[in-house]
Amino acid sequence: MYKTLVIVSLLLSFSGHCADEKDVLKTIKKFGKELKKELKKGLKKSATEAIKVCHMKAPEITLKNSNEKIQIGRVSLKNRNPNNVPKEWMLSYIDDFYRSGNKTGYKIVDLGEKKGLLKPIVTMPLCLKCHGTEISEEVVKEISAKYPNDKATGYKTGEIRGFFWAIYTPTKPKKE
């Protein structure tokens, strides 16, 4: 009986560090909604306020939505934040997204014991005040102050601006 309890306990603790694709997509969706909500609040005041929100709140929201099962973040080839540069495992999949024109799907990447997931971030009209082609002088000044090596401008509505990413240990399929 004791051996059975130990084995069950070990299995449950191991599975506690696993996630399935659905969990990962829900986590990314929640992360995106929270980030968008905060940015909208900032934009109600001004575009420069939205930059401050993104600069201060985005890292907090990222950490809040990451856990022992799923680590998440954002990346872009034209990054604003220097911490959001794609990792090596992401590059060929990002290239596939741009070549295929896929704007709604996501990719699962085999990383050995873990999996990676990339989901495109599509540029929405509200993004254009800070990421578009016609950005006010005041906003450019604020971006330059916070992100001196910014590359995240020049986008149009509908373009892929970057990617949400996640790394997770997948749940093992049940054997029948």
**If you average pLDDT over every residue of the chain, what do you get?**
87
Greater confidence (31 vs 4) lies with 31
Q: CA geometry: angle at 32 spanning 145 and 146, to 5°?
A: 5
Among candidates 112, 28, 11, 121, which has minimal Cα distance to 71?
Answer: 28
- pLDDT for 105 equals 86
Q: CA geometry: angle at 76 spanning 72 and 82, to 5°?
A: 85
- pLDDT for 15 equals 41
Percent of the chain topping pLDDT 70: 88
pLDDT band at 7 (very low <50, low <70, confident <90, very high): very low
39-53: b (≥16 Cβ within 10 Å) or e: beebbeeebbebbeb
Query: Residue 161: enclosing H or E segment and its boundaries?
Result: strand 160-168
SS (H, E, C) 45-65: HCHHHHHHHHHHHHHHHHHHH
pLDDT digits (tens, 9 = 90+) for 103-154: 778 999 999 999 999 999 999 999 999 999 999 999 999 999 999 999 999 9
172 class by beta-carbon count within 10 Å (0-12 exposed, 13-18 middle, 19+ buried): exposed
pTM of the model as a whole: 0.84
Output the CA torsion 88→165→171→109 (10° steps): -40
Instruction: Give the pLDDT mean for 5-14.
Output: 34
